[in-house]
Amino acid sequence: MEKQQILEKIRQAGVIGAGGAGFPAHIKLSCSADVVIANGAECEPLLRTDRLMMEQYPKKIMLGLKAAMYVTGARKGVIVLKKKYEKAIAALQSALDLSTELMLMDSFYPSGDEQQMVYEVTGKVVPTGGLPLDVGAVVQNVATLIAIADALAGLPVTEKYVTVTGEVQNPAVYKAPVGTPLTALIAAAGGPEDMRGYSVVIGGPLMGRVTDDISQEVVEKTTGGIIVMPSEHTLIRQKTGSLENDIRLAKSVCCQCNYCTQLCPRNALGLQVEPHKIMRALALNANNFGEVNGIFSCCDCGICTHYACNFQLAPSRLMKRVKQELLKAGVKPEKKVAFDVADNVESIKVPTSRLTIRLGIDKYEKELELKKELIETGYVRLPLKMHIGAQSVPNIGTGDTVAKGQLIADVSQGEGANLHASLDGIATVTDKYIEIRK
């Protein structure tokens, strides 16, 4: 198959990054690269989706990786995962060839951060305002590579594996059609019948978001995990605190000890990310945020807030806020690496086991099983925008009968991703989503 034919099949299938912001895969792969990195590190505590998919689908991951290497011209493919994933390592080793290899990492957070991973594999730092491609690398999550392998077989993205854990009786990795209500996954996992008093984190404990209304949430192409927790849990309270309170505490409590900056993994890569200076500026009502460019390299990993700061302050949230305001004011990042990589870059890595204890979520750490039976509720609601780029435009109308796998929305202008029915049924089309009922 020609390179353009492969990219077209990936585009048609609606493949987007499964583990992050949802960048359309056919656009990311329309480039020349030296190395394709398959991200299987899944560094957030509690999540098991990628690990179990590597155990179950090593051949598909290799097929997707080889396709990505072929279209980008990369001579090397590296699958990065943790040393402790023994079953996944054995499964993937049997599928390797001369141009592909495994890179085994210790269990630290945030080992799955794209920039961290590129540095571990290539020894080069992605500049602020830049992309891995600036140092010759393309990174794809292992679940995205499986979707690419399916796309080559003509199968669009209609299902998703999701870790469901926390306060549920049967934590596991469940499979559901895209658009399935998250309440159905929680019920399948034996979660609380009455959700009052519980909150749900969508994503990992550190980078995930706490939903305001679980009844409105559905499985999206980027959903990797959901965690049910008591609303009173410190982590939930920390994640849902108000910005006004964050600023008030920055003024009254921050002692400028600088630990948040010292333990910032992006700062250690030489990207000059200095959260303590943001705290100081806010305390002084000043606009002197230090080296502004470095703020754009904050990846929102939360190490500063959830691990470094002894006073439970929230520098990561304030970094995010300042970054948004800078972007709104038209400030753009300058492509550069400010310093050499710090000598202590290895020693500041935070072991995932310690982080889990610090977050108070170690009781949820369990070996999980991958459930291959599909959770079906006879209803899905498919958002028209689950990806970076333009919203998909429906090509069907309310009352139309659709079949699973049918293209129901695409991108007529700009860049985006196709959307396919994940259920046979009757469609209802709105300006934000398409519902399908059996």
Among 210, 227, 264, 355, binds ligand SF4 (CB under 6 A): 264
**Which of positions 171-200 make contact with ligand SF4 (CB under 6 A)?**
none
Among 92, 313, 338, 409, binds ligand SF4 (CB under 6 A): 313
- Part of the chain binding ligand SF4 (CB under 6 A), chosen from 61-69, 192-200, 258-266, 372-380: 258-266
Least spacing, CB of residue 33 vs ligand SF4, in Å = 25
Contact (Cβ atoms closer than 8 angstroms) between residue 22 and residue 147: no
- Part of the chain binding ligand SF4 (CB under 6 A), chosen from 149-157, 306-314, 389-397, 409-417: 306-314
Of 95 and 348, CB closest to ligand SF4: 348
Least spacing, CB of residue 80 vs ligand SF4, in Å = 19
Strands 425-429 and 419-420: unpaired
- Part of the chain binding ligand SF4 (CB under 6 A), chosen from 222-230, 305-313, 325-333, 411-419: 305-313
Cis? peptide before 110, omega within 30° of 0: yes
Number of residues that this document lists for the chain: 438
# chain residues binding ligand SF4, by CB under 6 A:
27
SS3 (DSSP) at 402:
strand
Task: Say how far apart CA 39 and CA 118 lie, in whole Å.
Answer: 10
The two three-digit tokens of residue 24, written as one number: 């359309």
Of 316 and 356, CB closest to ligand SF4: 316
SS3 (DSSP) at 78:
strand
Task: Express the helix, strand and coil content of the chain in percent, nearest 5 each.
Answer: 35, 20, 45
For residue 380, the cross-strand partners are: 436
Least spacing, CB of residue 292 vs ligand SF4, in Å = 14
Kindly state whether residue 275 participates in binding ligand SF4, applying the rule CB under 6 A.
yes
Q: Which residues contact 63 (CB under 8 A, 6 or more apart)?
A: 145, 148, 149, 152
Q: State which amino acid sits at residue 321.
A: R
Least spacing, CB of residue 215 vs ligand SF4, in Å = 30
Of 312 and 430, CB closest to ligand SF4: 312
Task: Say how far apart CA 110 and CA 347 lie, in whole Å.
Answer: 13
Which has the closest alpha carbon to 353: 342, 343, 368, 365?
A: 365
Residue linked to tokens 């080889």:
66
Least spacing, CB of residue 350 vs ligand SF4, in Å = 10
Among 309, 322, 361, 384, binds ligand SF4 (CB under 6 A): 309
- Part of the chain binding ligand SF4 (CB under 6 A), chosen from 120-128, 252-260, 376-384, 411-419: 252-260
Q: State which amino acid sits at residue 138.
A: V
Angle between helices 3-12 and 58-72 (to 10 degrees): 130
- Part of the chain binding ligand SF4 (CB under 6 A), chosen from 69-77, 220-228, 299-307, 335-343: 299-307
Among 182, 304, 384, 436, binds ligand SF4 (CB under 6 A): 304
Least spacing, CB of residue 110 vs ligand SF4, in Å = 7
Among 178, 299, 382, 409, binds ligand SF4 (CB under 6 A): 299
Of 315 and 394, CB closest to ligand SF4: 315
Among 228, 273, 322, 337, binds ligand SF4 (CB under 6 A): 273
Contact (Cβ atoms closer than 8 angstroms) between residue 14 and residue 26: no
- Part of the chain binding ligand SF4 (CB under 6 A), chosen from 178-186, 218-226, 292-300, 410-418: 292-300
Task: Say how far apart CA 399 and CA 415 lie, in whole Å.
Answer: 28
Among 257, 327, 403, 426, binds ligand SF4 (CB under 6 A): 257
Residue linked to tokens 């469609």:
427
DSSP per-residue letters across 291-305: SHHHHTT-----HII
Least spacing, CB of residue 102 vs ligand SF4, in Å = 27
Among 27, 29, 301, 375, binds ligand SF4 (CB under 6 A): 301
Degrees to nearest 5, angle at CA 91 with 185 and 119: 85
Least spacing, CB of residue 48 vs ligand SF4, in Å = 23
Least spacing, CB of residue 293 vs ligand SF4, in Å = 14
Degrees to nearest 5, angle at CA 380 with 378 and 385: 170
Task: Say how far apart CA 218 and CA 422 lie, in whole Å.
Answer: 12
**Which of positions 315-374 make contact with ligand SF4 (CB under 6 A)?**
315-316, 319
Kindly state whether residue 436 participates in binding ligand SF4, applying the rule CB under 6 A.
no
Task: Say how far apart CA 229 and CA 32 lie, in whole Å.
Answer: 44
Kindly state whether residue 260 participates in binding ligand SF4, applying the rule CB under 6 A.
yes
List C-alpha distances in Å: 20 to 16, 44, 262, 329: 9, 12, 26, 26
Residues near ligand SF4 (CB under 6 A): 254-260, 264, 266, 273, 275-276, 279, 298-304, 308-309, 311, 313, 315-316, 319
